[in-house]
Amino acid sequence: MVHQLSAGSCKRLQNASPDDVDVFESQHTLQFLSIKKVGNNPGAPASAPDRYRIIMSDGINYMQAMLATQLNHMVQDNTIGRNTIAVVEKLTCNYVQEKRLVIILSLRVLELTAEKIGDPSQIGPSEMPAVASPSTGNGPSAPPAQATPEVASPAQAAPAQAAAAPRQQAPPQTRHGNIYPIEGLSPYQNNWTIKARVTQKSEIKTWSNARGEGKLFNVTLMDDSGEIRGTGFNLVVDDLYPRLEEGKVYYISKARVNLAKKKFSNINNDYELSFERNTEVEECHEVTNVPTIKYNFVPLNGLEDLSKDAICDVIAVVKETSPVTQITSAKLQRELAKRELTLVDKSGFSVRMTLWGKQAEQYNVSEPTPVIAFKGVKVGDFGGRSLSMFSGSTMQVNPEIDECFALRGWYDNIGAEQTFKAHSNTGGGSSMYGFKREEIRSLDEIKQAGYGEPDKPENFSARATIMHIKSDNISYPACPTTNCNKKVVEMGDSWRCEKCNQNFPTPEHRYIMSLAVADYSGQAWLQGFNDVGTTIFGMTANQLLEIKDRDINEYNAILHKANCNTYNFSCRAKQDTYNETTRIRYGISRIIPLNYKEEAQMLRDLLYSPWAR
DNA sequence: CCCCCCCC
Distance CA A597, CA A548 (A): 35
Both A262 and A407 in one domain: the answer is no
Q: For residue A492, is it within any domain?
A: no
Does some domain include residue A56? yes
> Is the CB of residue A390 inside 7 Å of nucleic acid strand B?
yes
Q: Residue A216 domain-assigned?
A: yes
Query: Is strand B less than 7 A from the beta carbon of A520?
Result: no
Listed range (A40-44, A233-237, A321-325, A362-366) with the worst mean pLDDT: A40-44
Q: How confident is the model at residue A97 (pLDDT cuts 50, 70, 90)?
A: low
Residues A354 and A389 in one domain: yes
In a domain, A138, yes or no: no
- Name the residue with the least CA to C1' distance from nucleotide B8: A382
Same domain, A199 and A347: no
Q: For residue A461, what are the CA distances in angstroms to A226, A430, A443, A595?
A: 38, 11, 10, 16
| Whole-number distance in Å between A236 CA and B2 C1' | 14
Higher pLDDT, A158 or A457: A457
**Closest residue to B4 (CA, C1′):** A332
Measured CA to C1', the nucleotide nearest A45 is B1
Domain final position from A283, A314, A344? A283
> pLDDT class for A473, splitting at 50, 70, 90?
confident
Per-residue flag: A189 CB under 7 A of strand B: no
Whether residues A544 and A458 share a domain: the answer is yes
Q: What percent of chain A has pLDDT over 90?
A: 48
Q: Tell if A338 CB is < 7 Å from nucleic strand B.
A: yes
Q: What is the DSSP code string of A311-328?
A: EEEEEEEEEEEPPPEEEE
Nucleotide lying nearest to A260, CA to C1' measure? B3
How much is the pTM? 0.46
Q: What is the pLDDT of residues A256-271, one digit of tens each?
A: 999 888 667 767 788 9
The answer to whether the C-beta of A342 is closer than 7 A to strand B is: no
A608 CB closer than 7 A to any strand B atom: no
Tell me, yes or no, whether A204 and A252 share the same domain: yes
Report the nucleotide nearest the CA of residue A309, measured to C1'. B5
- From the alpha carbon of A233, which nucleotide's C1' atom is closest? B1
> Residue A214 CA to nucleotide B1 C1', Å?
8
Tally of structural domains, chain A? 4
Q: Which of A388, A422, A456 is the last residue of a domain?
A: A422
Claim to verify: residue A379 and residue A331 sit in the same structural domain:
yes
Residue ranges making up the domain that contains A26: 9-133
Q: What's the angle, vertex CA A432, arms to CA A430 and CA A434, rounded to 5?
A: 95
CB of A392 nearer than 7 A to strand B: yes
The domain boundary, picked from A222, A253, A283, lies at: A283
Read off the pLDDT of residues A530-547 as tens digits, 9 standing for 90 and up.
Answer: 989 999 999 999 999 999
Q: Answer whether any strand B atom is within 7 A of the Cβ of A386.
A: yes
The CATH number for A379's domain is 2.40.50.140
Q: Are A475 and A510 in contact (CB under 8 A)?
A: yes
User: Do A87 and A15 lie in a common domain?
Assistant: yes
Q: Please, are residues A537 and A562 in contact by the beta-carbon 8 Å criterion?
A: yes
Q: Which bases of strand B have any atom within 7 Å of the beta carbon of a protein residue?
A: 1-8
Q: What is the pLDDT of residue A153?
A: 35
What's the Å distance between residue A418 CA and nucleotide B4 C1'? 38
| A110 lies in some domain | yes
Beta-bridge mates of residue A494: A491
Question: Cα separation of A497 and A110, whole Å?
Answer: 72
Asked if the Cβ of residue A532 lies within 7 A of any atom of strand B, the reply is no
Question: Do A442 and A392 share a structural domain?
Answer: no
Q: How far is CA A317 from CA A22, A396, A411, in A?
A: 44, 12, 8
Q: Could you give phi then psi for residue A604, rounded to 5 degrees?
A: -60, -45
A155 touches strand B (CB under 7 A): no
**Rg (Cα) of chain A, in Å, rounded?**
32
Residue A211 placed within a domain: yes
In angstroms, the CA of A64 and the C1' of B2 are apart by 38
Mapped onto helix, strand or coil, the DSSP state of residue A98 is coil
Residue A379 CA distance to nucleotide B7 C1' (Å): 15
A279 and A192 in a common domain: yes
Query: CB of A269 under 7 A from strand B?
Result: no
User: What is d(CA A128, CA A124) in angstroms, rounded to the nearest whole number?
Assistant: 7
Residues A162-219 pLDDT 10s: 333 333 334 334 566 678 889 889 887 778 999 999 988 988 988 888 888 899 999 9
Shared-domain flag, residues A230 and A206: yes
- Whether residue A117 sits in one domain with residue A40: yes
Cβ atoms of A187 and A27 closer than 8 Å: no
**Mean pLDDT over the full length of chain A:** 83
Q: Is position A479 within any domain?
A: no
In Å, what is the separation between the CA of A93 and the C1' of B2?
A: 32
* pLDDT tens track for A141-159: 333 333 333 333 333 333 3
Which band of pLDDT confidence, cut at 50, 70 and 90, is reported for residue A431? very low
Q: What is the pLDDT confidence band of residue A448, given thresholds at 50, 70 and 90?
A: confident
Q: Is there contact between A216 and strand B, defined as CB under 7 Å from any strand atom?
A: yes
Same domain, A219 and A271: yes
H or E stretch at A251 = strand A249-253
* Nearest nucleic acid nucleotide to A211, CA to C1' distance: B1
pLDDT score of A174: 54
Write down the pLDDT at residue A44: 60
Q: Which of A 566-585 have CB under 7 A of nucleic chain B?
A: none
- Whether the CB of A272 is less than 7 Å away from nucleic strand B comes out as yes
A202 Cβ contacts chain B strand, under 7 Å = yes
pLDDT of residue A432: 41
Q: With respect to residue A146, please indicate whether it lies within any of the assigned structural domains.
A: no
Is strand B less than 7 A from the beta carbon of A187? no
